[in-house]
A and B are shown apart, each in its own frame.
Chain A
Amino acid sequence: MPPTTHFPLFDDLREKFPDLAAALLSVSADQASIALSGPDIRPISTWLESEFGARLAAVFAEDRVAVEGVFYNHYVFECPPDPCYLLFQAPVPAGDPRFPSLAAEHPAVNWQEREIQDWFGLEASGHPNPRRVALHDNWPEVHPLLKDFPLDCVLAPFLGERHVYRPTLGEGVFQIPVGPVHAGIIEPGHFNFAVAGEPILYLQLRMFYTHKGAEKLFEAMPIDRCVFLAESISGDSAFSHGTAFCQAIERAAEIEVPFRAHVIRTVLLELERVYNHIADIGAIAMDVGFMVGNAHAGRLREMVMRLNEGLTGSRLLRGMVCVGGVRRPWSLAQRDLLRDTLLVVEREFNDLVAMIKASDSTRDRLDRTGILRPEIAKALGIVGVGGRASGIDLDVRRDHPYAAYSRYQFRVPVYNAGDVLHRMQVRIDEVAESLDLLRAATADLTVLITDQHGPCCARPRPIPPDCCALSAVEGWRGEILHWVRTAPGNRLERCKIKDPSVNNWPALVEAVQGNIIADFPVINKSFNLSYSGTDR
């Protein structure tokens, strides 16, 4: 633990909640960690919101029973524009494993609290819908993230017990079940629609079909291997998740990342945003029948993926990030490849956008389709592209700068319309901003490559045990959080992954209501959430 320094907010907390605010665990420029004396965080949460407009970003638990005799619930708040995340560690006694639920006031943590129930067997008291979410109903009564649950436990074949959906009743009202195997090439999940004719009355979601034990697996692997596991949390965000993980370790172990690595990471994070946004813009056009737009977007995305390969050896940017920096430096030829490809991509992208915007029938299908109203987006804690199209002005790159982002100027596009058209517009604006940012970073690369000074990775050294850190990355979907507690022998005691999709699925449920079912694919695509990132 770094030496605990003075933190004014902690003094205020001590004054207001003398019984609850127990100790200041650590403080750094981007995060402060505070221990509470009991599980009830509600008064502090209410105070932080009313005083500072705080946002509850994540809730997760940790089994410390064998070591400290308690479970911990960890609450992550941010108070924009303060770049410091506030982490609260609330003990939940092993003898009385219950904690007060915040889900009624904060729908954003509805699923996250239910995950705690499923993974650890702690009870979220007063939860409005305490059913299982992560473990399907046919699973036996197990809690896989408990320390005494073995990773390789072979559970008996699952039988019976099917999920009960809210009934679809009324004359002329029909139920349309879709999935988990979908018609397109997408990930598995189940959508249960209730429709009255064409309009959707409501949608019920069931996820976690691709749950593959990732958080438990992190606890069983040496840290260097965990980097590859992090890259496989969500394949289209391999570099963002990989970077988020490495940053968490670097912060926990106070590893200084060389500047050159920061710039390379920034470039690759932006390339990940660009290739995914281009694919989504094309897919949105395709879902309303503008196939030629998608064909050009596919061509353009391929250009970026080839660039990815030229820079990292992998079209999906895998195998490049490592704890301490990046695995390989770049040559001048690679810098030229980046610079020249960006010129072509920029020109072609502008043509693509002009082509899509010139299509009145495309605009007609996207305009005012799948509206997520700003007040609902705020209540649900929506982040990322879906949030920014509905007035939620959050971007980790600006609010909690990491890698080399503080060096570069970029605008964060925010709209209030909240429809598919504006979710596409946010992507269009972000690609343009990313291309500008990449141009500036390329100039930095020129100096860094020609100077040949400095490594691209910090020297490897043992990671000290029992260090905790939070790391945040603005993936192309939105806010990715990784939290780690290290263990002896270059291992992890706990690794929590929060993909932005976890926040944003409820937004889809809201946005489809009242829309015709034929528009569901385009509304879904306009959020384009990660199933694997949600399910882990």
Chain B
Amino acid sequence: MFKILQNTLRAGIVTVPYPDQPALISEQFRGRPEFDFERWQDARPAAEVCPTGAIQVQDRALAGQTGLSRQVTIDYGLCIYCGLCAEASPEAVRVTRDFELAAQDRDALFAIAEYGLTPDGTHAHLVSHSPWGAAGYHLTETIHKVLGRSLAIRQVDAGSCNGCELEIAALSTPVHDLERFGIHFVASPRHADMLLVTGPVTRNMELALRKTYAATPDPKVVVAVGACGISGGIFGKNYASLGGVDGVIPVDVYIPGCPPRPEALIHGILLAVGRLGG
């Protein structure tokens, strides 16, 4: 008993101060890749190497003009943060340490750029671009009033590789300690305010996910976790996978990452119940 106490006292307080203070993350951490659209000469090499197709290139003829235009779409909800695009296009793509990517709208996770093309297919000029933006979270007042304080989460693995579960489990360690926010994991959807769902949703988990959603009392929020939970990730849609969670049940907040680090999960969960920024 004395030994246990001694160990615990020696360890001291290990809980990280996030989100009150910036997260302590390694220099090496690969967060959101940032695209310098002005300087990007050619999007094709990055699109070519992207393992999940999160960078899409679509060339088309300009109406009434000669030459081609190119639309480049970057989907942060499909990105697995491998950094290959930055290796393929070092002049325009930089891996940042940005991990606070959670968004309420699926559309906010896209960045789109439009280019005019030279005959060899490289970019002649940037026509327009709309950056990604997780801005404008609008919360219904009921949700904030009912769920804005103590929150009960039921986690549902709808087909994940278990990577997201490891990071969700890390929220219960003394280091991340989700309970300090009055948030705890519960054993049944009937006790839950929030479903934290990982994916891709498999054909074999579809019914279980629908039943779990139905068993959760209203008002409830659903958070889709990870590239697979948002979009199907590297598995996409196939004979056994239905892709992202929002193809099966309505989703309120999306947390990108492969998997999202624990601080990113905290950020997304607090965002979902309107508790970020005081």
Contact = CB atoms under 8 A, between A and B. Distances in A.
Partners in one complex: yes
Interface string A279-313: 10000000000001001101101100110011111
Contacts of B276: none
B51 interface: yes
B212 A181 contact: yes
Contacts of A402: none
Contacts of A211: 202-204, 240
Interface string A168-203: 000000000000110111111000000000000000
Contact of A351 (B7, B25, B26, B241): B7
A490 interface: no
Contact of B208 (A180, A187, A234, A355): A180
B49 interface: yes
A222 to B, nearest CB: 9
Interface string B228-244: 10000111011111000
Contacts of B83: 313, 319
B82 A236 contact: no
Contact of A355 (B3, B174, B239): B3
Interface in A473-527: none
A155 B259 contact: no
| B: interface residue count bin | 35 or more
A208 interface: yes
A185 B185 contact: yes
A213 B235 contact: yes
A210 B205 CA distance: 7
B43 interface: no
A210 B157 contact: yes
Given A153-B239, A235-B164, A210 B172 contact: no
B16 to A, nearest CB: 9
B157 A186 contact: yes
| Interface-central residue, A150, A187, A213, A217, by most chain B CB under 10 Å | A213
A216 interface: yes
Interface string B188-213: 11000000000010111101100010
Contact of A295 (B29, B159, B173, B204): B173
B162 A235 contact: yes
B170 interface: yes
B63 interface: no
| Interface-central residue, A150, A228, A355, by most chain B CB under 10 Å | A228
Contacts of B176: 302
Contacts of A28: none
Contacts of A355: 3-4, 7
B174 A299 contact: yes
B167 to A, nearest CB: 7
A315 interface: yes
| A: interface residue count bin | 35 or more
A67 interface: no
A245 interface: no
B240 A532 contact: no
| Interface-central residue, B156, B165, B187, by most chain A CB under 10 Å | B165
B166 interface: yes
Nearest to A184: B187
B6 to A, nearest CB: 9
| Interface-central residue, A158, A212, A311, by most chain B CB under 10 Å | A212
A296 B7 contact: yes
A225 interface: yes
Nearest to B82: A319
A184 B172 CA distance: 12
How would you classify the secondary structure of chain B's contact residues: helix, strand, loop or mixed? Answer: loop
Interface string A54-71: 000000000000000000
A216 B239 CA distance: 10
A42 to B, nearest CB: 33
B85 to A, nearest CB: 12
A410 interface: no
A183 B188 contact: yes
Contacts of B158: 188
A214 B155 CA distance: 24
B26 A309 contact: yes
A279 B187 CA distance: 20
A305 B168 CA distance: 14
A116 interface: no
Contacts of A310: 26-28
Contacts of A183: 187-188
A455 to B, nearest CB: 15
A209 B259 contact: no
Given A185-B165, A233-B161, A532-B162, A212 B202 contact: yes
B235 A217 contact: yes
B220 interface: no
B204 to A, nearest CB: 5
Interface in B144-187: 155-170, 172-176, 185, 187
Given A183-B187, A302-B175, A136 B204 contact: yes
A220 to B, nearest CB: 9
Given A235-B166, A319-B82, A217 B175 contact: no
A532 B240 CA distance: 13
Given A155-B239, A232-B228, 4 more contacts: A158-B203, A183-B187, A212-B159, A532-B162
Considering the complex of A and B, which 10 residue pairs feature the smallest CB-CB distances, nearest first?
A235-B163, A298-B173, A183-B187, A213-B240, A235-B162, A235-B161, A228-B51, A319-B82, A313-B30, A313-B28
11 contacts: A180-B208, A187-B157, A188-B159, A210-B160, A211-B202, A225-B51, A228-B234, A299-B11, A311-B28, A313-B26, A316-B167
